[in-house]
Chains A and B, each alone.
Chain A
């Protein structure tokens, strides 16, 4: 009897690894049965376009969640960096117009906000939940104060190319998102930082005994996540051609949902940035599909909620979780 159960366990674990991909494929098949337009090239590009910014944000959020922490500052960082980048490119409010040079500045501001998250969280020993919530509020607050409720209009076409431009028929934002995935994957797989964050997320005490510099790793990872959010802010500004304090509304929920639906455990240590890419596509395809299938708006949110719970239930490997909180 014993060998059979071991085999079953392995099979189950193997299947769970692929569960998010299976869910995604099943969704695609289901939607295309209802509406043939789903499988057209045009819609494929639109899906990529909708997925680009969430993917960039998820790269940062996945790292944090792998570490067993949570980051609620996403909307604040995105709002602030979007406003900063909008003020630095050609616009109707400020005179700077430094075009693409604004991008590294905004990304760096994102990184600094992330470092601030990390330092406050580690040095003050405050839970990441509260620390990042506070930093996030501060971000939206600063963005509001800078603008006093106004909206900046971006007229810099070079900057807007970051979203509107097409290279080999694929929107520029998608190429940038792909690059973000590549960078995140290399950090996760090929750097000590990447290995360490799994160790911390799995069991912090063991990691500490193994001599991993826990505090430094945590701070750095929050900093790296901030860089990704900064890039997300840049892309949001480029996509809408404007910057305002409310540009990031709703981003936090989508990002965390996508990470979890992709199979990364909120308890830390389990998952990967590639999972999160699949997670983003599940969320984006679902939203697109519900409109394509003509599901009543009143019903949509319910369906969305149920399917997300189903996806998480299928994808999450609970065999190693003793307690589910």
Chain B
């Protein structure tokens, strides 16, 4: 999920200028007196994301809706449909309509969008939490109290944990091959780093036979895995894939060679196909993100501040920019994961946070 996002993030720096222009227009527009329509007396809650067409964002929207229901607030879902301008203008319209009484949980379409959105929300007096994408130099504490927090997931420990699941599955000794994402993607770089850490900690027991970027592509992963089987034969004890899609490609290549279930595969993302493959004993594990939690908690934290339950400006920085927890799904935990989907406790605001966000570049 995050994988697809960041390649776009990296490639459109000039959009920022466009959006700044758009923001300037917004300033001009709001200098007119506000229309005297009835202003909302209670907070309106909204989640903004790319689209509800993909399972991750569909769950993200559901998380927001669940929380709004639990407090009896009005709730709206905004979809950018991959269009930054639409994303920003929808948010601006909603700020206008709610008279600034808006709590927004946004997964910006593109990193630079975050700045424009935060500035708009601050100006209107609402509260905002951002997810995944923001410029490195944009921090919540610089926009107190309106920019409440930024949430993301750390690829390094996640990849390290899932790599360890892979090692466990083949007995902790032998060679593995690894499929990476697009070389310049932040998640791809983080996940490779996590894998390298895990291998280093085995003190030479596990060796990386080869690493190939398959660009998040199932078909490419299939062809590369086939070539590996020729090159390394039964030296391959396990396959690490930086996302589940590539993992599925590798699994099908193994199946063509009668090795499905004999050579374990791990992936990241927690797609249904991967969970099923874990049950079938063909995948050794995957990491499920927790979009219901991010979808709900991104509203619960600013709501707690808005209603005076906490003062966000007094919270430490690891409560303002933090990583969520990926859920490791493996052979041992898959039944539990399916029967008891992760629960969200809206009173435990940072219970699933795992440390302050680090900037590695």
Interface centre among A149, A163, A251 (most CB of B within 10 A): A149
Q: Are A291 and B210 in contact (CB under 8 A)?
A: yes
Q: Does B273 contact A (CB under 8 A)?
A: yes
Q: Does B249 contact A (CB under 8 A)?
A: yes
Cross-chain contact of A240 among B224, B227, B249 (Cβ < 8 A): B249
Bound: A40/B231 CA distance, A: 11
CB distance from A82 to the nearest CB of B (A): 12
Binds A, one of B30-38, B51-59, B294-302, B314-322: B51-59
Query: A residues within 8 A CB of B255?
Result: 164
CB distance from A33 to the nearest CB of B (A): 15
Q: Are A46 and B54 in contact (CB under 8 A)?
A: no
Q: Does A298 contact B (CB under 8 A)?
A: yes
Q: Is the interface of A mostly helix, strand, loop or mixed?
A: helix
Q: Are A287 and B223 in contact (CB under 8 A)?
A: yes
Query: A residues within 8 A CB of B218?
Result: 240, 246-247, 249
Q: Are B212 and A49 in contact (CB under 8 A)?
A: no
Query: A residues within 8 A CB of B272?
Result: 150-151, 153
Kindly identify, within residues 248 to 306 of chain A, every residue whose CB is under 8 Å from any CB belonging to chain B: 249-251, 284, 287-288, 291-292, 294, 297-298
Q: Chain B interface: which size bin?
A: 35 or more
Kindly identify, within residues 221 to 268 of chain B, every residue whose CB is under 8 Å from any CB belonging to chain A: 222-224, 226-231, 233, 245, 248-249, 252, 255-257
Q: Does A233 contact B (CB under 8 A)?
A: no
Query: A residues within 8 A CB of B222?
Result: 50, 239-240
Query: B residues within 8 A CB of A241?
Result: 252
Q: Are A46 and B226 in contact (CB under 8 A)?
A: yes
A153: nearest chain-B partner, CB-CB:
B273
Q: Are A149 and B230 in contact (CB under 8 A)?
A: no
Kindly identify, within residues 32 to 69 of chain B, every residue whose CB is under 8 Å from any CB belonging to chain A: 51-55, 57-58
CB distance from A252 to the nearest CB of B (A): 12
Cross-chain contact of A297 among B212, B248, B249, B276 (Cβ < 8 A): B212
Cross-chain contact of A288 among B51, B223, B233 (Cβ < 8 A): B223
Q: Are A242 and B273 in contact (CB under 8 A)?
A: yes
CB distance from B68 to the nearest CB of A (A): 22
Query: B residues within 8 A CB of A95?
Result: none
Point out residues on A near B: beta carbons under 8 Å.
Answer: 35, 37-38, 40, 42-43, 46, 49-50, 144, 148-151, 153, 163-164, 171, 239-242, 246-247, 249-251, 284, 287-288, 291-292, 294, 297-298
